[in-house]
Amino acid sequence: MIPLLDLVVQYNTIKPEIDAAIQEVLNSAKFILGPNEKTFEQEAAQYLGVKHAVGVASGTDALVIALRALGIGPGDEVIVPAYSFFATAGTVLTVGATPVFVDIDPKTYLIDIEQVSRAITQRTRAIMPVHLYGQAADIDEINKIAAEHGLKVVEDNAQAFGATYHGTHTGALGDLGCLSFFPSKNLGAYGDAGMVTTNDDKLAELVTMLRTHGWKKKYFPELLGYNSRLDEMQAAILRVKLKHVDAWNTRRREIVEVYNAHLGTAGIAIPTVAPDRTHVYHLYIIRVKNRESLKELLKQRGIASEIYYPQPLHLAAPCRELGWVEGSLPVAEQAAQETLALPLYPEMTDEQINEVITTVIELAE
Protein backbone atom coordinates (compact mmCIF):
# COMPACT_ATOMS: atom_id res chain seq x y z
CA MET A 1 0.00 0.00 0.00
CA ILE A 2 1.30 3.46 -0.93
CA PRO A 3 -0.32 6.00 1.43
CA LEU A 4 -1.15 9.59 0.59
CA LEU A 5 1.18 10.59 3.43
CA ASP A 6 3.33 8.51 5.78
CA LEU A 7 3.98 10.27 9.09
CA VAL A 8 5.40 7.13 10.68
CA VAL A 9 8.26 7.08 8.17
CA GLN A 10 8.87 10.78 8.78
CA TYR A 11 8.92 10.28 12.55
CA ASN A 12 11.43 7.47 12.25
CA THR A 13 13.84 9.75 10.32
CA ILE A 14 13.90 12.30 13.16
CA LYS A 15 13.01 10.03 16.10
CA PRO A 16 15.97 10.88 18.38
CA GLU A 17 15.33 14.62 18.03
CA ILE A 18 11.59 14.30 18.58
CA ASP A 19 11.90 11.96 21.54
CA ALA A 20 14.46 14.23 23.21
CA ALA A 21 12.25 17.29 22.71
CA ILE A 22 9.22 15.56 24.20
CA GLN A 23 11.23 14.24 27.15
CA GLU A 24 12.54 17.74 27.83
CA VAL A 25 8.99 19.07 28.11
CA LEU A 26 7.98 16.21 30.41
CA ASN A 27 11.00 16.81 32.62
CA SER A 28 10.29 20.54 32.85
CA ALA A 29 6.57 20.10 33.64
CA LYS A 30 5.99 23.41 31.84
CA PHE A 31 3.09 22.52 29.57
CA ILE A 32 1.28 25.80 28.79
CA LEU A 33 2.98 28.86 27.26
CA GLY A 34 6.38 27.53 28.24
CA PRO A 35 9.85 28.23 26.86
CA ASN A 36 9.42 26.10 23.71
CA GLU A 37 6.27 27.96 22.76
CA LYS A 38 7.94 31.33 23.14
CA THR A 39 11.07 30.23 21.30
CA PHE A 40 9.10 28.64 18.48
CA GLU A 41 7.23 31.91 17.98
CA GLN A 42 10.58 33.69 17.64
CA GLU A 43 12.00 31.06 15.30
CA ALA A 44 8.88 30.99 13.11
CA ALA A 45 8.82 34.79 12.91
CA GLN A 46 12.47 34.85 11.88
CA TYR A 47 11.93 32.12 9.28
CA LEU A 48 8.90 33.84 7.75
CA GLY A 49 10.35 37.33 7.97
CA VAL A 50 7.63 38.87 10.15
CA LYS A 51 7.79 40.93 13.30
CA HIS A 52 5.28 38.90 15.30
CA ALA A 53 4.19 35.25 15.36
CA VAL A 54 1.60 34.24 17.95
CA GLY A 55 0.94 30.57 18.59
CA VAL A 56 -2.68 29.42 18.87
CA ALA A 57 -4.45 26.09 19.20
CA SER A 58 -5.29 25.45 15.53
CA GLY A 59 -5.36 26.93 12.05
CA THR A 60 -9.10 27.47 12.38
CA ASP A 61 -8.61 29.39 15.61
CA ALA A 62 -5.95 31.45 13.86
CA LEU A 63 -8.49 32.60 11.27
CA VAL A 64 -11.17 33.35 13.88
CA ILE A 65 -8.76 35.31 16.06
CA ALA A 66 -7.35 37.22 13.08
CA LEU A 67 -10.84 38.29 12.04
CA ARG A 68 -11.69 39.27 15.62
CA ALA A 69 -8.46 41.27 15.91
CA LEU A 70 -9.59 43.28 12.88
CA GLY A 71 -12.95 43.94 14.54
CA ILE A 72 -14.84 42.02 11.87
CA GLY A 73 -18.29 40.83 12.92
CA PRO A 74 -22.03 41.07 12.18
CA GLY A 75 -22.86 43.26 9.20
CA ASP A 76 -19.40 42.90 7.68
CA GLU A 77 -18.38 40.99 4.54
CA VAL A 78 -15.18 39.11 3.82
CA ILE A 79 -14.26 38.06 0.28
CA VAL A 80 -13.10 34.45 0.06
CA PRO A 81 -12.45 31.93 -2.73
CA ALA A 82 -15.18 29.38 -3.35
CA TYR A 83 -12.73 26.49 -3.37
CA SER A 84 -10.87 25.71 -0.15
CA PHE A 85 -11.15 23.84 3.15
CA PHE A 86 -14.39 24.87 4.86
CA ALA A 87 -12.65 26.79 7.66
CA THR A 88 -11.97 29.59 5.17
CA ALA A 89 -15.70 30.35 5.04
CA GLY A 90 -16.70 28.83 8.37
CA THR A 91 -14.55 31.18 10.41
CA VAL A 92 -16.12 34.19 8.72
CA LEU A 93 -19.53 32.84 9.72
CA THR A 94 -18.27 32.08 13.21
CA VAL A 95 -17.49 35.75 13.92
CA GLY A 96 -20.94 36.71 12.59
CA ALA A 97 -19.76 38.17 9.28
CA THR A 98 -20.78 37.12 5.76
CA PRO A 99 -18.43 35.29 3.39
CA VAL A 100 -18.70 36.62 -0.16
CA PHE A 101 -17.52 33.95 -2.55
CA VAL A 102 -15.63 34.50 -5.79
CA ASP A 103 -14.58 31.90 -8.31
CA ILE A 104 -11.09 30.52 -8.85
CA ASP A 105 -8.53 30.42 -11.62
CA PRO A 106 -9.10 27.15 -13.53
CA LYS A 107 -5.39 26.34 -13.72
CA THR A 108 -4.01 27.30 -10.30
CA TYR A 109 -7.25 26.95 -8.25
CA LEU A 110 -6.35 30.24 -6.55
CA ILE A 111 -8.80 33.11 -6.06
CA ASP A 112 -9.66 34.83 -9.36
CA ILE A 113 -8.28 38.35 -9.07
CA GLU A 114 -10.55 39.77 -11.75
CA GLN A 115 -13.60 38.81 -9.72
CA VAL A 116 -12.37 40.21 -6.40
CA SER A 117 -12.94 43.86 -7.29
CA ARG A 118 -16.46 43.13 -8.55
CA ALA A 119 -17.35 41.49 -5.23
CA ILE A 120 -16.53 44.54 -3.10
CA THR A 121 -19.47 46.37 -1.49
CA GLN A 122 -19.84 49.05 1.18
CA ARG A 123 -19.92 46.24 3.76
CA THR A 124 -16.64 44.61 2.68
CA ARG A 125 -13.99 44.71 5.39
CA ALA A 126 -11.37 42.22 4.27
CA ILE A 127 -10.12 39.87 1.56
CA MET A 128 -9.03 36.37 2.59
CA PRO A 129 -6.91 34.77 -0.15
CA VAL A 130 -5.97 31.10 0.27
CA HIS A 131 -2.51 29.89 -0.71
CA LEU A 132 -4.08 26.65 -1.84
CA TYR A 133 -2.18 23.37 -2.14
CA GLY A 134 1.09 25.14 -1.29
CA GLN A 135 1.15 27.99 -3.83
CA ALA A 136 0.85 31.71 -3.09
CA ALA A 137 -2.17 33.58 -4.38
CA ASP A 138 -1.66 36.74 -6.46
CA ILE A 139 -1.02 38.72 -3.33
CA ASP A 140 0.41 41.89 -4.91
CA GLU A 141 -2.81 42.42 -6.86
CA ILE A 142 -4.89 41.57 -3.80
CA ASN A 143 -2.97 44.07 -1.64
CA LYS A 144 -3.39 46.72 -4.34
CA ILE A 145 -7.15 46.19 -4.48
CA ALA A 146 -7.33 46.21 -0.69
CA ALA A 147 -5.40 49.48 -0.45
CA GLU A 148 -7.65 51.14 -3.03
CA HIS A 149 -10.75 50.23 -1.01
CA GLY A 150 -9.42 50.52 2.54
CA LEU A 151 -9.64 46.77 3.20
CA LYS A 152 -7.52 44.38 5.23
CA VAL A 153 -5.88 41.23 3.86
CA VAL A 154 -5.91 38.01 5.89
CA GLU A 155 -3.77 35.27 4.37
CA ASP A 156 -5.11 31.75 4.80
CA ASN A 157 -1.66 30.21 4.81
CA ALA A 158 -2.68 26.84 6.23
CA GLN A 159 -1.25 24.87 3.30
CA ALA A 160 1.80 26.84 2.21
CA PHE A 161 4.39 27.01 4.97
CA GLY A 162 7.70 27.73 3.25
CA ALA A 163 6.18 28.96 -0.01
CA THR A 164 7.35 32.30 -1.39
CA TYR A 165 6.00 35.10 -3.57
CA HIS A 166 8.63 37.35 -5.19
CA GLY A 167 11.04 35.98 -2.61
CA THR A 168 8.88 36.74 0.45
CA HIS A 169 7.35 33.94 2.48
CA THR A 170 3.62 33.52 2.54
CA GLY A 171 2.29 34.57 5.91
CA ALA A 172 4.30 37.79 5.67
CA LEU A 173 2.41 39.32 2.75
CA GLY A 174 -0.87 40.58 4.21
CA ASP A 175 -2.06 42.38 7.34
CA LEU A 176 -2.35 39.04 9.11
CA GLY A 177 -1.26 35.52 8.19
CA CYS A 178 -2.92 32.39 9.54
CA LEU A 179 -1.04 29.09 9.74
CA SER A 180 -2.10 25.54 10.48
CA PHE A 181 0.25 22.93 11.88
CA PHE A 182 -2.23 20.08 11.53
CA PRO A 183 -0.19 16.83 11.40
CA SER A 184 -0.54 16.39 7.63
CA LYS A 185 0.84 19.84 6.82
CA ASN A 186 4.35 20.38 5.42
CA LEU A 187 5.26 21.62 8.90
CA GLY A 188 2.96 19.52 11.05
CA ALA A 189 2.58 19.01 14.77
CA TYR A 190 1.46 15.77 16.45
CA GLY A 191 -1.94 17.27 17.17
CA ASP A 192 -3.78 20.52 16.47
CA ALA A 193 -1.72 23.71 16.42
CA GLY A 194 -1.73 27.05 14.61
CA MET A 195 -0.26 30.53 14.46
CA VAL A 196 -1.11 34.13 13.55
CA THR A 197 1.60 36.30 11.99
CA THR A 198 1.75 40.06 11.49
CA ASN A 199 4.05 43.06 11.26
CA ASP A 200 1.53 45.25 13.07
CA ASP A 201 2.26 45.77 16.79
CA LYS A 202 -1.34 46.58 17.71
CA LEU A 203 -2.76 43.59 15.87
CA ALA A 204 -0.18 41.34 17.53
CA GLU A 205 -1.23 42.64 20.94
CA LEU A 206 -4.90 41.98 20.17
CA VAL A 207 -4.18 38.47 18.86
CA THR A 208 -2.17 37.69 22.01
CA MET A 209 -5.03 38.91 24.19
CA LEU A 210 -7.66 37.05 22.22
CA ARG A 211 -5.88 33.70 22.47
CA THR A 212 -5.94 33.89 26.29
CA HIS A 213 -9.34 35.06 27.51
CA GLY A 214 -8.81 38.67 26.48
CA TRP A 215 -6.12 39.23 29.09
CA LYS A 216 -3.20 41.58 29.19
CA LYS A 217 -2.88 40.98 32.91
CA LYS A 218 -3.81 37.49 34.11
CA TYR A 219 -7.38 37.18 35.43
CA PHE A 220 -8.31 40.67 34.20
CA PRO A 221 -10.00 40.30 30.79
CA GLU A 222 -10.30 43.45 28.72
CA LEU A 223 -12.29 41.87 25.90
CA LEU A 224 -14.02 38.58 25.21
CA GLY A 225 -11.35 36.15 24.12
CA TYR A 226 -10.70 32.43 23.79
CA ASN A 227 -8.68 29.64 25.34
CA SER A 228 -6.53 29.00 22.27
CA ARG A 229 -2.89 28.55 23.12
CA LEU A 230 -0.20 26.64 21.24
CA ASP A 231 0.54 23.61 23.38
CA GLU A 232 4.10 23.42 24.74
CA MET A 233 4.52 19.82 23.59
CA GLN A 234 3.48 20.72 20.06
CA ALA A 235 5.79 23.74 20.08
CA ALA A 236 8.73 21.52 21.03
CA ILE A 237 7.91 19.11 18.19
CA LEU A 238 7.49 21.97 15.71
CA ARG A 239 10.86 23.42 16.70
CA VAL A 240 12.50 20.14 15.69
CA LYS A 241 10.58 19.94 12.43
CA LEU A 242 11.22 23.56 11.47
CA LYS A 243 14.89 22.69 11.01
CA HIS A 244 13.93 20.13 8.36
CA VAL A 245 11.06 21.85 6.54
CA ASP A 246 13.13 23.43 3.75
CA ALA A 247 14.76 20.10 2.90
CA TRP A 248 11.38 18.39 2.97
CA ASN A 249 9.87 21.02 0.68
CA THR A 250 12.79 20.68 -1.71
CA ARG A 251 12.25 16.92 -1.85
CA ARG A 252 8.55 17.47 -2.53
CA ARG A 253 9.45 19.60 -5.55
CA GLU A 254 11.88 16.94 -6.77
CA ILE A 255 9.15 14.29 -6.65
CA VAL A 256 6.73 16.63 -8.41
CA GLU A 257 9.22 17.15 -11.23
CA VAL A 258 9.21 13.40 -11.82
CA TYR A 259 5.44 13.21 -11.59
CA ASN A 260 4.99 16.10 -14.00
CA ALA A 261 7.49 14.77 -16.54
CA HIS A 262 5.56 11.53 -16.91
CA LEU A 263 1.94 12.38 -16.12
CA GLY A 264 1.96 15.61 -18.13
CA THR A 265 3.11 13.87 -21.29
CA ALA A 266 0.37 11.27 -20.76
CA GLY A 267 -2.34 13.90 -21.16
CA ILE A 268 -3.22 14.20 -17.47
CA ALA A 269 -3.82 17.72 -16.15
CA ILE A 270 -0.95 18.45 -13.75
CA PRO A 271 -0.42 21.40 -11.38
CA THR A 272 0.27 24.83 -12.83
CA VAL A 273 2.81 27.04 -11.10
CA ALA A 274 2.19 30.77 -11.51
CA PRO A 275 5.15 33.12 -12.11
CA ASP A 276 7.43 34.52 -9.40
CA ARG A 277 6.58 32.06 -6.68
CA THR A 278 7.90 28.91 -5.05
CA HIS A 279 5.38 26.09 -4.68
CA VAL A 280 5.75 23.76 -1.67
CA TYR A 281 3.19 21.17 -2.87
CA HIS A 282 1.28 20.45 0.31
CA LEU A 283 -0.84 18.39 -2.07
CA TYR A 284 -0.15 17.11 -5.57
CA ILE A 285 -3.38 17.60 -7.52
CA ILE A 286 -4.23 16.12 -10.88
CA ARG A 287 -7.45 16.65 -12.77
CA VAL A 288 -9.37 13.92 -14.59
CA LYS A 289 -12.91 13.53 -15.89
CA ASN A 290 -13.28 10.00 -14.53
CA ARG A 291 -12.12 10.86 -11.02
CA GLU A 292 -14.36 8.55 -9.02
CA SER A 293 -13.55 5.48 -11.07
CA LEU A 294 -9.82 6.32 -11.07
CA LYS A 295 -9.85 6.75 -7.31
CA GLU A 296 -11.50 3.36 -6.84
CA LEU A 297 -9.14 1.63 -9.25
CA LEU A 298 -6.13 3.14 -7.50
CA LYS A 299 -7.48 1.85 -4.20
CA GLN A 300 -7.76 -1.64 -5.68
CA ARG A 301 -4.10 -1.40 -6.72
CA GLY A 302 -3.04 -0.32 -3.22
CA ILE A 303 -2.45 3.36 -3.98
CA ALA A 304 -4.17 5.96 -1.82
CA SER A 305 -5.70 9.11 -3.26
CA GLU A 306 -8.02 11.74 -1.85
CA ILE A 307 -10.42 14.45 -2.95
CA TYR A 308 -9.59 18.02 -1.92
CA TYR A 309 -12.37 19.22 -2.03
CA PRO A 310 -15.58 17.42 -3.00
CA GLN A 311 -17.82 20.45 -2.49
CA PRO A 312 -17.22 24.14 -3.21
CA LEU A 313 -17.77 26.38 -0.21
CA HIS A 314 -20.75 28.30 -1.54
CA LEU A 315 -22.78 25.07 -1.79
CA ALA A 316 -21.98 23.87 1.75
CA ALA A 317 -25.01 23.54 4.04
CA PRO A 318 -24.03 26.38 6.43
CA CYS A 319 -23.83 28.75 3.45
CA ARG A 320 -27.15 27.89 1.81
CA GLU A 321 -29.02 30.77 3.40
CA LEU A 322 -26.63 33.17 1.66
CA GLY A 323 -28.44 32.48 -1.60
CA TRP A 324 -25.80 30.74 -3.68
CA VAL A 325 -27.04 28.02 -6.02
CA GLU A 326 -25.45 25.39 -8.21
CA GLY A 327 -24.01 27.07 -11.30
CA SER A 328 -23.18 30.31 -9.45
CA LEU A 329 -19.42 29.72 -9.50
CA PRO A 330 -18.83 27.16 -12.25
CA VAL A 331 -15.02 26.91 -12.14
CA ALA A 332 -14.97 25.96 -8.47
CA GLU A 333 -17.86 23.57 -9.00
CA GLN A 334 -16.10 21.79 -11.84
CA ALA A 335 -12.86 21.54 -9.86
CA ALA A 336 -14.78 19.88 -7.05
CA GLN A 337 -15.83 17.19 -9.53
CA GLU A 338 -12.45 16.54 -11.15
CA THR A 339 -9.50 17.12 -8.81
CA LEU A 340 -7.65 14.27 -7.12
CA ALA A 341 -4.62 14.23 -4.81
CA LEU A 342 -1.94 11.60 -5.37
CA PRO A 343 0.60 10.36 -2.80
CA LEU A 344 3.28 12.93 -2.04
CA TYR A 345 5.61 13.06 0.94
CA PRO A 346 9.37 13.64 1.21
CA GLU A 347 10.21 10.08 2.26
CA MET A 348 8.68 8.44 -0.83
CA THR A 349 11.05 5.99 -2.50
CA ASP A 350 11.80 6.03 -6.22
CA GLU A 351 10.04 2.68 -6.45
CA GLN A 352 6.88 4.12 -4.93
CA ILE A 353 6.99 7.18 -7.17
CA ASN A 354 7.37 5.05 -10.29
CA GLU A 355 4.56 2.74 -9.21
CA VAL A 356 2.19 5.68 -8.76
CA ILE A 357 3.11 7.07 -12.18
CA THR A 358 2.80 3.77 -14.02
CA THR A 359 -0.50 2.90 -12.37
CA VAL A 360 -2.11 6.32 -12.84
CA ILE A 361 -1.19 6.42 -16.52
CA GLU A 362 -2.49 2.89 -17.09
CA LEU A 363 -5.77 3.44 -15.26
CA ALA A 364 -6.41 6.96 -16.55
CA GLU A 365 -6.40 5.62 -20.09
Q: What would the pLDDT profile of 259-273 be if each residue is shown by its tens digit?
A: 999 999 888 999 999
CATH fourth-level superfamily of 245-364: Aspartate Aminotransferase, domain 1 (3.90.1150.10)
- Crossing angle (nearest 10°) for helices 15-28 and 232-242: 150
Q: Look at residue 110 and tell me whether its pLDDT is greater than 80.
A: yes
| Amino acid identity at 184 | S
The mean pLDDT of the chain is: 97
Spell out a b/e string for 110-120, using b for 16 or more CB atoms within 10 Å of the CB, else e.
bbbbebbeebb
CATH of domain 7-101+111-242: 3.40.640.10
CB 65 within 8 A of CB 71: no
Q: List pLDDT tens digits, range 292-337.
A: 999 999 999 999 999 999 999 999 999 999 999 999 999 999 999 9
pLDDT of residue 154: 98
Other C-beta atoms lying within 10 Å of the C-beta of residue 246: 12
CB 157 within 8 A of CB 179: yes
Instruction: Report pLDDT digits (tens) over 187-236.
Output: 999 999 999 999 999 999 999 999 999 999 999 999 999 999 999 999 99
Other Cβ atoms within 10 Å of 207 Cβ, number: 26
The structure's pTM equals 0.97
Domain residues of the chain, as ranges? Answer: 7-101+111-242, 245-364
Task: Report the C-alpha gap between 83 and 331 in whole angstroms.
Answer: 9
Q: Report pLDDT for 267.
A: 87
Mean pLDDT of the 143-161 span: 98
CB 133 within 8 A of CB 78: no
Same fold, 7-101+111-242 and 245-364: no
Rounded to whole angstroms, the Cα distance separating 172 from 122 reads 27
* DSSP string across 183-227: TTSSS--SS--EEEEES-HHHHHHHHHHHBTTEEETTEESS---B
Angle between helical axes of 350-364 and 291-300 (0-180°, round to 10): 130
Q: What is the pLDDT of residue 365?
A: 77
Phi/psi for 169 (5° steps) reads: -70, 140
